[in-house]
Chains A and B, each alone.
Chain A
Amino acid sequence: ETGVTQTPRHLVMGMTNKKSLKCEQHLGHNAMYWYKQSAKKPLELMFVYNFKEQTENNSVPSRFSPECPNSSHLFLHLHTLQPEDSALYLCASSQDINSAYEQYFGPGTRLTVT
């Protein structure tokens, strides 16, 4: 148990569906991250938030929409996804974006787009 939880753990959705991924951290951290991990591909950083403010968007398509209502919660809203978006989506947190400390990862949401 890392202190970072993600729900759901598995999600199957059609290309016209709208769904949301949820991440919650119980560590008192101020920075939160979304990563995409495809089969046989490295971790791809998608979004970074620090103190609820988005500090980085790595050219992610607009069909992925993040939301960070407070430092403990992070959402990823999905709509009109493509089959190539099927992947493991990992959430992580760290003390804050300007301090070099480890990141704590959740177990991920396995997303399949049909």
Chain B
Amino acid sequence: GENVEQHPSTLSVQEGDSAVIKCTYSDSASNYFPWYKQELGKGPQLIIDIRSNVGEKKDQRIAVTLNKTAKHFSLHITETQPEDSAVYFCAASLGGSGAGKSTFGDGTTLTVKP
């Protein structure tokens, strides 16, 4: 089955700095890569996703890059703000039957210091 590794497990940055979280996946058949943000007391919520036919996607301060050859993808947050503090999960989904089920990374706790 698919295996997703996420690094780092914790990340602390100063407000205004950039934050980068990296994930690797094992199965080259994976073709959908969502990123979720989990705030305290809430369930994870999608913040951005990318499919395997695209190398980069950006949404305001958040961007995701995908390297299919190396089987890794990264989340980039620029101009970080205290409200970006949360746990972030990457995930990967295989195509075909069962594609709706994602394999999640272990999560990264991001702390943005004001």
Please report A residues at the B interface, Cβ cutoff 8 Å.
Answer: 2, 4, 31, 33, 41-43, 45, 48, 50, 55-56, 90, 92, 94-108
How far apart are the CA atoms of A92 and B104 in the complex, in Å? 13
A107 neighbours in B (Cβ, 8 Å): 41-43
Residue of B nearest to A4 (CB): B43
A4 neighbours in B (Cβ, 8 Å): 43
B105 neighbours in A (Cβ, 8 Å): 42
Residue of A nearest to B47 (CB): A102
91-114 of chain B: CB within 8 A of chain A:
93-102, 104-107
How far apart are the CA atoms of A103 and B36 in the complex, in Å? 9
CB distance from B35 to the nearest CB of A (A): 10
Interface centre among B32, B44, B99, B107 (most CB of A within 10 A): B44
CB distance from A88 to the nearest CB of B (A): 9
Contact of A100 among B36, B43, B99, B104 (CB under 8 A): B99
CB of B101 within 8 A of CB of A97, answer: yes
Could you show 21 A-B contacts with beta carbons less than 8 Å apart?
A: A2-B45, A33-B101, A41-B106, A43-B44, A43-B104, A43-B107, A48-B101, A55-B98, A96-B100, A97-B97, A97-B99, A98-B96, A98-B97, A98-B99, A100-B51, A101-B32, A101-B100, A103-B34, A103-B100, A105-B43, A106-B43
